[in-house]
Amino acid sequence: MPELPEVETVRRELAAEVEGRTIVAVRIHKSDIVLPPNSPTLFRRRVRGRRVESLARRGKYLLLHLDGDDVIQVQLRMSGRFALGLRQRPAPAEFGHIAVELDLDDGRTVFYDDVRRLGGFRVLSEAEWRAESRRLGPEPLSPGFRTVDLEAALSSSKGPVKNALMDQRRIAGVGNIYASEALHAARIDPRRAGRSLDRGELRRLHRSLRRVLRGAIRDAGTTFRSYRTVNGRSGSFQEKLRVYGREGRHCPRCGGTVERLVQAGRSTFHCPGCQR
């Protein structure tokens, strides 16, 4: 958390505010928020005075493309969040752990708050970012992502299909929530080996994965604990979850009882009645 829908929501909201703006000052309040190979000094030097050409997303990464062939790569991880405000005014009251402030040329400031500081920032050249991007799997919502691409991503997986869906080298952006939801929608047991799925199951999973992710984006993501969109708005997809976090409750499809199991140290929610 955040997963693809949450990062995409943040991207869209930030893009509307900061694309075309110049970063005139950088304040780093928590030095460990700057990730290797950068240092805070290097990060400030490479970012200050640069124009934000565009915002993009790759998997769970938020990307600010700057003029002059550099990219700010942001990992939100568990508790990273953004707000915008006027420079002379304080950040939102709930932002008690501000790690980075970026002053813009229109008098506003982008605040980044991260209570757990598991995320971070770094600046890369475009070539360095392209090398990073090649290590990630395909984007599940790209127009070119087909059932055969999902099959290729899972065909070598001897382990559970749930774990394979969360492997960013196989498919970019899917995490615990949406893997559980997509497998339930496709009626596939999360313990099945990824390579054991037949063509019909792969088609169902392909459709379900894309449908679940698109639905979550429409609802601005899923808010359980710390995730918020820009300036504190909560997502609402948690109101539409069918199995995730619903242990002991009735399955909305078959009426069975939703169960929780642990896979690779993460909770998986499923319905044994209709996920066989």
- Residue positions annotated with a catalytic role: 2-3, 60, 266
The neighbouring-strand residues paired with 63 are 56, 73
Placement of tokens 């757990």 in the chain: 116
Measured distance CA(267)–CA(262) in Å, rounded: 5
C-alpha–C-alpha distance, residues 222 and 270, integer Å: 18
For residue 227, what are the contacts with CB-CB under 8 A and spacing of at least 6?
A: 1, 2, 6, 81, 221, 234, 235
Q: What is the CA radius of gyration of the chain?
A: 20
CB 221 within 8 A of CB 181: no
- Candidates 241, 259, 164; CA nearest to 202 is 164
The H-or-E segment that residue 211 falls in is helix 199-218
Q: Where are the beta strands (DSSP E) in 6-60?
A: 23-28, 52-58
| Sign of the alpha-carbon torsion through 50, 51, 53, 56 | positive
